[in-house]
Structure 1
Amino acid sequence: MPMHDFPRIKKDDLVAEFPGVFDTASYTDVGVGWLGLVRDFVNEALQHDPSLTVHEIKEKWGGMRIWCDTEVTAARLAKGKAEFKSSITCEVCVAPGFVRRPPPDRMAWWRCLCDEHASPDQRFWGTRPQGPMYGYMQTRNGQWYRYDEATDSMVPSEPPAQWR
């Protein structure tokens, strides 16, 4: 599936829905399957940082990356949660997905897709293994957090084993 063969989130829609947050964004280019993650991030982050400004949202290595201005830890945790959840959510339809990475001899984008939206070829690519950093993030003050699926939140955590 070529990169843009499915509907994308439009910056104008985000500007209309979240006045002031996306007005100066230079780039917003992810599939509509991640719209709920973007909305959840912004709504959660704005509760903690009303001056939140998002500069860019894009797909990188099969997951969503959000560049924004906020020093507020709770808002940064909302960003980390959205980015992590994008690596397990189909970018097209919101169904559970897998980061599919092309074989080493193949030049192609990594994508997070469910089996329905992955091309027949992509279904045979490897899915990205869950490595030791899976679901973890570290804040600027050095505190580690990990995504807890049961509570759908980032919870304080010990560092991953290789960082202890």
Structure 2
Amino acid sequence: MPMHDFPRIKKDDLADEFPGVFDSARYVDVGIGWLGLVRDFVAEALPHDPSLCIHEMKEKWGSLRIWCDTDIQEARLAKAKAEIKSSMTCEVCGAAGYVRRPPPDRFAWWRCLCDEHSSEDQRSWGARPLGPMYGYMRTCDGQWYRYDPDDDKMLPSQPPEGWRLR
């Protein structure tokens, strides 16, 4: 499936729903399957940071990336949660998916897709291995958090196994 052969979320799709949040966005272009993640992120972050301002939102390396201005920890945790969950969510339909990484000899986009929305070729690629940092984030004050899918929350955590300060 070529990169844009499915519905995409654009800035205008979100501006009316979230007044002020996307007004200065330079670029918004992600698969419609991530709409729930975007809505959940904004709904979770906005009460903590009423001045939340998203500058850019796109797919990169098969998952959602959100660039926004916020120093509020709860909003940053909501952002991290949305980005982490996107690597488990089909960008076309929102069902469970995984990041499909093309073989080294292929020039192709990494995509997070379910089996239904991936091509036969993409299904043969296999999943991108999840590294030891997957699901973690570290805040500026050094506190670690990890996404807990059972609670659907970013919870305080110890550093990932093998993490060491240099």
TM > 0.5 between the two? yes
* 1:79 corresponds to: 79
Secondary structure of the residue that 1:99 maps to in structure 2?
A: strand
Q: What displacement does 1:101 show?
A: 0.5
Q: What displacement does 1:2 show?
A: 1.1
* 2:89 corresponds to: 89
Q: What displacement does 1:25 show?
A: 0.2
* 2:119 corresponds to: 119
* Mapping 1:58-77, distance limit 5 Å: 58-77=58-77
* 1:5 corresponds to: 5
Q: What displacement does 1:162 show?
A: 2.3
Query: Letter of the aligned partner of 1:91 in structure 2?
Result: E
Identity of matched residues, %? 76
Q: Distance in 2 between matches of 1:90 and 1:113?
A: 4
* Mapping 1:13-92, distance limit 5 Å: 13-92=13-92
* 1:137 corresponds to: 137
Deviating 4+ runs (over 3 angstroms):
none
Q: Distance in 1 between matches of 2:43 and 2:52?
A: 10
* 1:110 corresponds to: 110
**Unmatched tracts of structure 1, length 5 or more:** none
Q: Distance in 2 between matches of 1:149 and 1:12?
A: 31
Q: Distance in 1 between matches of 2:19 and 2:56?
A: 15
Q: Distance in 2 between matches of 1:98 and 1:67?
A: 22
Q: What displacement does 1:130 show?
A: 1.6
Query: Letter of the aligned partner of 1:56 in structure 2?
Result: E
Q: Distance in 2 between matches of 1:73 and 1:92?
A: 30
Q: Distance in 2 between matches of 1:24 and 1:81?
A: 23
Q: Distance in 2 between matches of 1:52 and 1:111?
A: 28
Q: How many aligned residue pairs are there? A: 164
Q: What displacement does 1:131 show?
A: 1.3
1:84-138 CA distances to partner (integer Å, 9 max, x unpaired)? 0000000000110010000000000000000000011000002111211111111
RMSD value over aligned CA atoms?
0.7
Q: Distance in 1 between matches of 2:99 and 2:162?
A: 23
Q: Distance in 2 between matches of 1:29 and 1:93?
A: 15
Q: Distance in 2 between matches of 1:63 and 1:143?
A: 24
1:128-164 CA distances to partner (integer Å, 9 max, x unpaired)? 1121111111112111100001110000000012224
**Unmatched tracts of structure 2, length 5 or more:** none
Q: Distance in 1 between matches of 2:140 and 2:8?
A: 31
Q: Tell me the TM-score normalized by structure 1.
A: 0.98
Q: What displacement does 1:18 show?
A: 0.3
